[in-house]
């Protein structure tokens, strides 16, 4: 028997952006396995193009996008909108993603009397400056718990920003384990992403175009490998502010223009992964990158920068290859190593998939998070009833 609608736990997921990046994809994956019998989920996005909002609506979840400007002058209207939404829907729990969402969500919850507030730590975020930490500190008084998707993120807040250790739990991201394509299907998928025949050696890069994702170092690695791997093909999937400059650099370079292809946002990343020979992540920092986990689940060998929570997923030379960040030579060396050793590619691919199956399932992640949601809401309900 399902719980009556009025007795469901009413939860709001408040995101700083509605662009489909790593955090937003994980929100969608979480919702895809959410317990709708017990939880009533709502989603509000504060910035972006509304793509997350649209996807949530397609999944039959209440969702709105209140992004009109990145300007801080728009902040008060966003705050009032979230506040009124919490009051109207009698929200019992807010989970926030991103600093803007943290501040607006915490203040709205305090005034609206939302019983439970959870903030998310999605990365070690070494870029955070004193004012970020100050804003976080003065608004976090009513936060019941921080959920970090990596131990690296958790430790960054404890050591660098003096967060109370007991208020932060680590729950790694989780992913589905896909069926592997047949040889014929893989050929068909490869033809979607390259204009050449199936002899191309495809290295996929699924990351929005921001400086910390390391695309410029990948381009330099491409130059280093031009003569060693003539059939090399980088596939860049994503969007972002640095894309125009990177496109221009590639178009002007004779070597890169035949080596790099931009395919925009790929609605089904697994299709690109199944078409790939290698997956590459060259970030300067990361939390628990879903893209790496998805590549491993797709049985694709992974090369990733040894930063943040990445070594919590990959064991070097066993389930993938770890490289130092900001090192084009290390990227080139790792790609060439896998290119010349098909047995190693096969061993890393199989071990990576098995590792994800055993330790990073989507169902396990959702179960852990919803268990925390229920425990915290029930604790507040009991505390409120005892005061009556």
Residue 253 to residue 277: CA distance in whole angstroms: 24
Q: Give the per-residue pLDDT at 69.
A: 62
Global pTM? Answer: 0.91
Nearest to 275 by CA among 363, 180, 356: 180
Q: Which CATH number fits domain 183-359: 3.40.640.10, 3.40.1390.30, 3.40.630.30, 3.40.50.2000?
A: 3.40.50.2000
Enter the tokens of residue 94. 């807010």
Per-residue pLDDT at 314 exceeds 70: yes
Instruction: Note the pLDDT tens digit of each residue in 176-223.
Output: 999 999 999 999 999 888 876 668 999 999 999 999 999 999 999 999
- How high does pLDDT run on average in the chain? 93
Report domain extents, the chain.
5-174+362-387, 183-359
Percent of the chain with pLDDT over 90: 81
Of 28-42, 121-135, 184-198, 215-229, least confident by mean pLDDT is 184-198
Q: Which fold has domain 5-174+362-387?
A: Rossmann fold (3.40.50)
Q: Is the pLDDT of residue 67 over 50?
A: yes
For residues 196 and 190, what is the distance between their CA atoms, to the nearest angstrom?
Answer: 9
Domains 5-174+362-387 and 183-359 equal at CATH topology level: yes
């Amino acid at each position: 028997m399902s719980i009556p609608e009025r007795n469901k736990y009413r939860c709001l997921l408040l995101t700083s952006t509605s662009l489909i990046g790593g955090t937003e994809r994980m929100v969608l994956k979480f919702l895809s396995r959410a317990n709708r019998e017990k939880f009533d989920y709502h989603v509000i996005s504060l910035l972006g193009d509304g793509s997350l909002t649209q996807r949530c609506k397609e999944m039959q979840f209440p969702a709105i996008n209140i992004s009109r400007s990145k300007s801080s002058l728009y902040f008060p209207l966003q705050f009032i909108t979230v506040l009124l939404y919490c009051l109207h829907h009698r929200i019992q729990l807010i989970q926030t993603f991103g600093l803007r969402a943290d501040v607006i969500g915490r203040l709205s919850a305090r005034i609206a009397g939302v019983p439970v507030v959870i903030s998310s730590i999605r990365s070690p975020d070494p870029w955070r400056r004193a004012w970020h930490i100050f804003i976080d500190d003065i608004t976090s008084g009513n936060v019941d718990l921080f959920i970090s998707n990596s131990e690296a993120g958790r430790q960054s807040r404890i050591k660098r920003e003096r967060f109370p250790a007991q208020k932060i739990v680590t729950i790694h991201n989780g992913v589905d384990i896909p069926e592997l394509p047949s040889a014929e299907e893989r050929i068909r998928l490869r033809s979607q992403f390259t204009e050449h025949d199936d002899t191309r050696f495809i290295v996929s890069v699924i990351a929005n175009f921001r400086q910390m994702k390391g695309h410029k170092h990948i381009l330099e690695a491409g130059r280093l490998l031009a003569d060693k791997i003539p059939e090399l093909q980088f596939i860049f999937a994503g969007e972002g502010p640095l894309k125009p400059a990177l496109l221009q650099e590639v178009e002007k370079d004779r070597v890169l223009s035949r080596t790099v292809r931009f395919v925009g946002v790929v609605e089904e990343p697994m299709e690109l992964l199944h078409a790939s020979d290698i997956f590459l992540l060259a970030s300067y920092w990361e939390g628990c990158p879903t893209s790496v986990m998805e590549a491993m689940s797709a049985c694709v060998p992974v090369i990733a920068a040894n930063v943040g929570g990445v070594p919590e997923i990959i064991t070097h030379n066993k389930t993938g290859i770890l490289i130092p960040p900001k090192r084009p030579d290390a990227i080139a060396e790792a790609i060439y190593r896998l290119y010349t050793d098909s047995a190693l590619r096969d061993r890393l691919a199989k071990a990576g998939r098995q590792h994800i199956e055993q330790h990073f399932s989507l169902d396990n992640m959702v179960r852990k998070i919803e268990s925390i949601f229920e425990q915290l809401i029930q604790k507040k309900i009991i505390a409120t009833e005892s005061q009556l």
